[in-house]
């Protein structure tokens, strides 16, 4: 009997040691080293100077943090982003981050990520979904606020004018959060005074070529336009080319407001060809890494993280340009 008790006690100890060995395995239970973390990032594309700066910042930040980054460029196509996300799920990455090209149509693929226990971080742009459990955090700008800031500048600029102010709006990619929200914020503010009239509004897909093409066409049907409100710098820079080709002076004959504040936009503002820029920061890499590390460690993360941003007049652009990183 005594012998049997000794054998049972020894076996129990072995079982408990085996359990301990499992517990000491960092990859199973303990915190992961940055070098063991793998993140899949599905980028929108390379449509603008902002996007190029955003991609570089994300890639540089992950390199510096020593975290493996799997990166894909969707060339502005939702189906490409969905494919990339599915491939990250199959590869079993630790976290998926992406900047949705449009707001809707994500629920199915995000549910697949959730079912596979892979947390998703929305970076830069939001999704329009009723189920906010499909992502752990949304890091990016307040695009409605950006549109409001553009509208507020306009209201102030024309405060002494009673004549109508005719506006062309160059929209970003149709269905994208920044296009929807920047239009909404701007409309909210200018609605206070009926003299402001958006005479035409069309998408230039956030590209310089798109902005140029749309402006060329719209100037023909609206030769007496006063202002162009462009949802990003690149389309505004395209509009400058179209205005100059039409023999007019951008910034004087037609005032231009843009969003982003990338170097080329800031240079045009300093040169007096753009009149006002609302900043949208592409430098999201470091904050994304903080979120990834917390999520992988099982810590709570904030559901919404908003970037701190400013606005620029010509004088402020001249001052800021020498130190502008992007």
Give residues in contact with ligand AHR (CB under 6 A): 47-48, 50-51, 124-125, 178, 206, 232, 234, 259-260, 280
The nearer residue to ligand AHR, 153 or 158, going by C-beta atoms, is 153
Determine the Cα–Cα distance for residues 248 and 150; give it in Å rounded to an integer. 23
Who contacts 307 (Cβ-Cβ below 8 Å, separation ≥6)? Answer: 139, 140, 141, 280, 281, 284, 287
Q: How far is the CB of 116 from ligand AHR (least distance, A)?
A: 27
Q: How far is the CB of 68 from ligand AHR (least distance, A)?
A: 25
Beta carbons of 218 and 246 less than 8 angstroms apart: no
User: Residue 181 has which token pair?
Assistant: 């929200």
The nearer residue to ligand AHR, 178 or 250, going by C-beta atoms, is 178
The nearer residue to ligand AHR, 39 or 122, going by C-beta atoms, is 122
Q: How far is the CB of 28 from ligand AHR (least distance, A)?
A: 38
CA dist 184 to 7, 42, 124, 210, Å? 75, 27, 18, 21
Q: How far is the CB of 78 from ligand AHR (least distance, A)?
A: 14
Determine the Cα–Cα distance for residues 196 and 211; give it in Å rounded to an integer. 22
The nearer residue to ligand AHR, 50 or 106, going by C-beta atoms, is 50
Determine the Cα–Cα distance for residues 196 and 86; give it in Å rounded to an integer. 46
User: Residue 248 has which token pair?
Assistant: 């007019």
Q: How far is the CB of 279 from ligand AHR (least distance, A)?
A: 10
Point out which residues pair with 123 in neighbouring strands.
139
Residue with tokens 């903080």: 290
The nearer residue to ligand AHR, 226 or 260, going by C-beta atoms, is 260
The nearer residue to ligand AHR, 37 or 282, going by C-beta atoms, is 282
The dihedral over CA atoms of 165, 166, 170, 174, expressed in degrees to the nearest 10, equals 100
Determine the Cα–Cα distance for residues 115 and 163; give it in Å rounded to an integer. 58
The nearer residue to ligand AHR, 50 or 158, going by C-beta atoms, is 50
Determine the Cα–Cα distance for residues 87 and 78; give it in Å rounded to an integer. 14
The candidate with the shortest Cα–Cα distance to 263, out of 318, 178, 325, is: 325
CA dist 183 to 99, 145, 196, Å? 19, 10, 14
Q: How far is the CB of 241 from ligand AHR (least distance, A)?
A: 17
Q: How far is the CB of 291 from ligand AHR (least distance, A)?
A: 18
């Amino acid at each position: 009997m005594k012998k049997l008790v000794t054998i049972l006690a020894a076996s129990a100890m072995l079982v408990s040691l085996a359990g301990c060995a499992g517990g000491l395995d960092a990859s199973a239970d303990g915190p992961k080293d940055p070098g063991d973390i793998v993140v899949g990032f599905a980028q929108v594309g390379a449509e603008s100077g902002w996007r190029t700066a955003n991609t570089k910042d994300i890639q540089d930040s992950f390199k510096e943090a020593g975290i493996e980054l799997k990166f894909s460029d969707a060339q502005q196509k939702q189906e490409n982003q969905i494919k990339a996300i599915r491939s990250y799920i199959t590869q079993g990455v630790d976290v998926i981050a992406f900047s949705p090209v449009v707001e809707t149509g994500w629920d199915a693929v995000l549910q697949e990520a959730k079912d596979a226990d892979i947390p998703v971080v929305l970076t830069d742009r939001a999704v329009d979904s009723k189920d906010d459990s499909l992502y752990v955090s949304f890091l990016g700008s307040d695009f409605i606020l950006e549109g409001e800031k553009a509208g507020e500048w306009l209201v102030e600029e024309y405060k002494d004018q009673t004549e109508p102010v005719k506006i062309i709006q160059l929209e970003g990619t149709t269905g994208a959060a920044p296009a929807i929200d920047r239009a909404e914020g701007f409309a909210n503010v200018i609605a206070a005074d009926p003299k402001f009239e958006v005479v035409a509004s069309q998408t230039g897909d956030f590209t310089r070529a798109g902005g140029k093409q749309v402006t060329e066409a719209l100037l023909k049907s609206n030769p007496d336009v006063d202002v162009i409100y462009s949802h990003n710098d690149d389309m505004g820079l395209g509009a400058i080319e179209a205005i100059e080709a039409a023999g007019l002076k951008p910034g004087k004959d037609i005032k231009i407001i843009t969003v982003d504040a990338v170097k080329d936009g800031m240079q045009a503002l300093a040169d007096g060809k753009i009149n006002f820029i609302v900043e949208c920061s592409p430098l999201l890499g470091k904050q994304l890494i903080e979120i990834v590390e917390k999520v992988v460690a099982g810590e709570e993360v904030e559901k919404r993280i908003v970037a701190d941003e400013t606005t620029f007049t010509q004088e402020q652009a001249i001052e800021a340009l020498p130190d502008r990183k992007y």
